[in-house]
Amino acid sequence: MAVPKKKTSKSKSKMRISHLKGKLSTIKYIEDKNSGELRRPHHIDKSTGEYRGKKIINPTK
């Protein structure tokens, strides 16, 4: 089993994962097929209250 000889410093470990943080923090939006409004993927459309063609909640006004 591989064991590291030295402890990875905080600086080195943060540099290694720094490219992931930028991609995770950007919020993506998609255009809803029915209403045409922007919404987050895999989220309920608040204007219609639907998710994947099914009525989930009453729409907010």
Domain membership of residue 40 (yes or no) is yes
Residue with more model confidence, 52 or 61: 52
Domain membership of residue 24 (yes or no) is yes
Give the structural domain span for 45.
Answer: 11-55
Domain membership of residue 61 (yes or no) is no
pLDDT of 60 higher than 90: no
Structure tokens at 3: 């064991």
- pLDDT tens profile 6-50: 999 999 998 888 877 666 667 789 888 877 888 899 998 888 888
- What is the predicted pLDDT for the residue at 9? 95
CB contact burial 3-20 (16+ within 10 A = b; e otherwise): eeeeeeeeeeeeeeeeee
Residue with more model confidence, 20 or 54: 54
Domain membership of residue 3 (yes or no) is no
Task: Give the count of domains, the chain.
Answer: 1
